[in-house]
Amino acid sequence: MNRQLTQVFVVSATSIAAVAALASPSSAAPADKPQVLSSWTQTSASSYNSFISARNNQGAWSAYGFDWSTDYCSSSPDNPLGFKFELSCARHDFGYRNYKKMGTFSANKARLDSAFYEDLKRVCAPLSTIPRGACNSLAWTYYQAVKALG
């Protein structure tokens, strides 16, 4: 009886190890995750556009395990004075949350904050002179806040 129990245990342990070995590679994030994350968190408009495209098709990126959650502009207004800052804030949250998960936040924070500021200025750019000035002032204020407190 004791010998049979030992054999069952060995077979069960071997089966569990085999399943774990097979499951691990498929559940691991793709090796290019850092490169993809970096490509979506640069200061350029093309990086921003790539991020928005991916955000609108999150299911295609599910294997990467990205954290897409956002509180937008946290306790600040998402659209101050009607300026649409919420997507800039969402991308900023995405960068912060995912670099923190990867353990490389400190090395990337300054770039993430700069990308945020560039995104905000792109919101302001098409506006006429007076509203653009107000928008740029708010963009600078939001940038200084994340730079100091983010």
Distances (CA, A) of 81 to 47, 124, 134: 26, 12, 9
Percentage of residues of the chain with pLDDT beyond 90? 80
Judge if 21 and 43 occupy the same domain: no
Given the residues 70, 92, 95, 119, select the one marked as catalytic.
92
Q: What is the pLDDT of residue 14?
A: 42
Exposed, middle or buried by CB within 10 Å (0-12, 13-18, 19+), for 66?
buried
Residues 97 and 111: their CA atoms lie apart, in Å, by 14
Residue 140: give the domain boundaries: 31-149
Structural domain count of the chain: 2
Q: What is the pLDDT of residue 11?
A: 41
pLDDT band (50, 70, 90) for residue 9: very low
Judge if 8 and 43 occupy the same domain: no
pLDDT band (50, 70, 90) for residue 65: very high
Judge if 16 and 3 occupy the same domain: yes
- Cα atoms in the 13 Å half-sphere on the side-chain side of 102: 25
What global pTM score does this model have?
0.82
Assess whether 149 carries a catalytic annotation. Answer: no
Residues 22 and 17: their CA atoms lie apart, in Å, by 9
